[in-house]
C-alpha cells in the first residue's frame, strides 16, 4: 500500500449559521466572510501539517486546485507543492491536480510540473482533473459543452511537450502553438506518473486504463457508497483487457483516530459536521452546469457529490450515521484498522489518500489525528497487496525506484 496525506486547506472560520444564511460555499461566497490575516495563518498551519505527515512516514502529500470558494484555499496547488519541495525530502508530491482546460496555453502545466519534478528530485505525481463544474464552468467561465474536449486536447499537448524530442507545432481546435519546446524538461522520464482524479464519470475509466494511468476516486460519500463506482472502474479495466493491479486505483477517505471510539466522537464530530454542512454547501445551480456530465454518466446513475440531493442526504446526519454509512472511518485504533482494511480490500485500491485534517479542525487536533494514524493504523494496512508492483509511483520518492 501507498498511503498519502491529503489536504484540502479549508477555511475554518465560516459563521455558525453559514448554511442557513448563504446559499453556497462555492462561486459566490461573500468576500466579507474572509479574513486575510486568518488565512495567512492557515496557510502556515497547513504546510506545517503536510511536513509533519512526511516526518510521520506517509508516502505522499496531496494538494489540489479549486477556485472561488471557502472549501479549499488552493487556487494554485503548484505554489504549495513548490513550498514543500524545500521542506520535505522523501514523500511524493501528489498534485491532484492542475485542471488542464483552465490553462491557456496548457503548456503552462507542462512547464510548472517539470519545475516541480526537478525541484523535488523526481518526487512529482502529475494529476490531471477535468475540474468541478463550480470551478471550471462558473468560476472560470468555460463552456460545459466544450470542457471535456478542451481537457483531452490539453492533455495531449502536455504529454507531447514532455515526450517529443524536437521542437514541434501543435494545431488543436482550442490551442495553437507554433513552437512547442518547453524548458526545462521533467527529471522523471518519459514523464512523471499521471493520476486522474475523478468523481464518477464513466468515460474516464476506460480512457485511464488505455493510457495506463491511475484512477483516483475522490469521494465524500465514503467507501461504502464508493464501492459501486470502484466496481464500475474494475469492470471497465476488465473490458479493456489490462491487468487488475490494485495500484491502478486510488481512493480518498475521511479518517479520525483517537484513543477510544467515544473519544473520537467527542473530539471530531464538530469538525466532520462543519465539513459536510458548510464546506460542501453548494447551491444546486452551481453543482452541475447543463452539459457538464456526459449522457453516459447520467445514464449510469452516478450521483453528484454536491448540490441539493447530496445536501439533503447529509442534512440530518449524526455521528453514528456518519460512521455507519462510511462517510468517515473513525474510532479507536482497532476500530479504524478494521474499517480501513475493509475499505481497501472491498474497493481494491493500492493508493489510499486519507483526509485527516477535516473542516474546522484546529492544528493540534490535526497533528494528533495524523500521529495516531501513522503510529497505530498505518503499519497494519501496509502489506495488503503482496505480489503487486506499483508502476505508478514517482522514482525519487520514498519507496520509489530511484
How does pLDDT run across 165-199, given as a tens digit for each residue?
999 999 999 999 999 999 999 999 999 999 999 87
Mean pLDDT over each residue of the chain, to the nearest integer? 94
Count CB atoms within 10 A of the CB of residue 270: 13
What residues contact residue 98 under an 8 Å CB cut-off, 6+ apart? 65, 77, 78, 109, 112, 113, 126, 127, 128, 129
Instruction: State how far the Cα of 257 lies from the Cα of 164, in Å rounded to an integer.
Output: 47
Specify the CATH superfamily of domain 2-380.
Luciferase-like domain (3.20.20.30)
Q: Where are the alpha helices (DSSP H) in 60-143?
A: 77-87, 107-120, 133
Which pLDDT score is estimated for 402? 55
Position 305 scores a pLDDT of: 64
Q: What is the pTM of this model?
A: 0.95
Per-residue confidence (pLDDT) for residue 198, from 0 to 100: 87
Q: Is the dihedral of CA 25, 31, 34, 39 positive or negative?
A: positive
pLDDT attached to residue 299: 55
What's the maximum distance between 2 C-alpha atoms anywhere in the chain?
A: 62
Beta strands in 138-272 (DSSP E): 168-171, 176-180, 194-198, 214-217, 249-257
**Positions in the chain short of pLDDT 50:** none
Q: What is the pLDDT of residue 199?
A: 73
Amino acid at each position: 500500500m501507498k498511503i498519502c496525506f491529503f489536504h484540502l486547506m479549508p477555511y475554518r472560520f465560516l459563521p455558525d449559521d453559514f448554511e442557513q444564511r448563504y446559499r453556497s460555499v462555492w462561486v459566490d461566497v461573500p468576500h466579507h466572510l474572509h479574513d486575510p490575516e486568518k488565512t495567512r495563518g492557515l496557510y502556515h498551519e497547513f504546510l506545517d501539517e503536510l511536513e509533519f505527515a512526511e516526518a510521520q512516514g506517509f508516502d505522499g502529500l496531496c494538494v489540489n486546485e479549486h477556485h472561488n470558494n471557502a472549501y479549499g484555499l488552493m487556487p494554485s496547488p503548484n505554489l504549495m507543492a513548490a513550498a514543500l519541495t524545500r521542506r520535505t525530502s522523501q514523500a511524493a508530491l501528489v498534485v491532484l491536480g492542475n485542471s488542464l482546460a483552465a490553462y491557456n496555453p496548457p503548456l503552462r502545466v507542462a512547464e510548472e510540473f517539470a519545475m516541480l519534478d526537478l525541484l523535488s528530485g523526481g518526487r512529482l505525481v502529475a494529476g490531471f482533473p477535468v475540474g468541478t463544474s463550480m470551478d471550471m464552468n462558473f468560476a472560470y467561465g468555460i463552456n460545459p459543452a466544450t470542457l471535456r474536449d478542451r481537457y483531452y486536447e490539453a492533455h495531449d499537448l502536455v504529454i507531447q511537450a514532455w515526450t517529443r524530442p524536437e521542437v514541434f507545432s501543435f494545431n488543436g481546435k482550442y490551442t495553437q502553438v507554433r513552437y512547442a519546446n518547453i524548458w526545462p524538461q521533467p527529471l522523471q522520464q518519459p514523464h512523471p506518473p499521471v493520476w486522474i482524479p475523478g468523481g464518477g464519470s464513466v468515460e474516464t475509466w476506460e480512457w485511464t486504463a488505455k493510457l495506463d494511468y491511475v484512477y483516483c476516486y475522490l469521494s465524500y460519500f465514503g467507501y461504502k457508497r464508493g464501492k459501486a463506482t470502484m466496481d464500475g472502474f474494475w469492470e471497465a479495466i476488465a473490458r479493456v483487457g489490462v491487468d487488475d493491479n490494485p495500484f491502478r486505483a486510488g481512493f480518498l477517505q475521511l479518517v479520525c483516530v483517537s484513543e477510544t471510539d467515544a473519544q473520537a466522537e467527542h473530539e471530531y464530530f464538530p469538525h466532520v459536521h462543519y465539513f459536510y454542512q458548510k464546506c460542501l454547501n453548494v447551491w444546486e445551480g452551481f453543482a452541475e452546469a447543463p452539459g457538464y456530465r456526459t449522457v453516459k454518466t447520467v445514464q449510469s446513475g452516478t450521483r453528484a457529490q454536491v448540490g441539493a440531493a447530496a445536501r439533503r442526504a447529509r442534512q440530518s446526519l449524526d455521528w453514528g450515521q456518519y460512521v455507519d454509512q462510511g462517510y468517515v472511518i473513525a474510532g479507536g485504533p482497532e476500530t479504524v484498522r478494521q474499517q480501513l482494511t475493509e475499505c481497501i480490500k472491498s474497493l481494491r485500491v493500492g493508493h489510499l489518500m486519507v483526509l485527516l485534517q477535516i473542516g474546522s479542525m484546529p492544528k493540534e487536533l490535526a497533528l494528533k489525528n495524523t500521529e495516531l494514524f501513522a503510529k497505530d493504523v498505518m503499519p497494519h494496512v501496509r502489506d495488503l497487496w503482496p505480489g503487486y508492483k506499483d508502476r505508478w509511483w514517482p522514482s525519487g520518492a520514498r519507496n520509489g525506484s530511484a
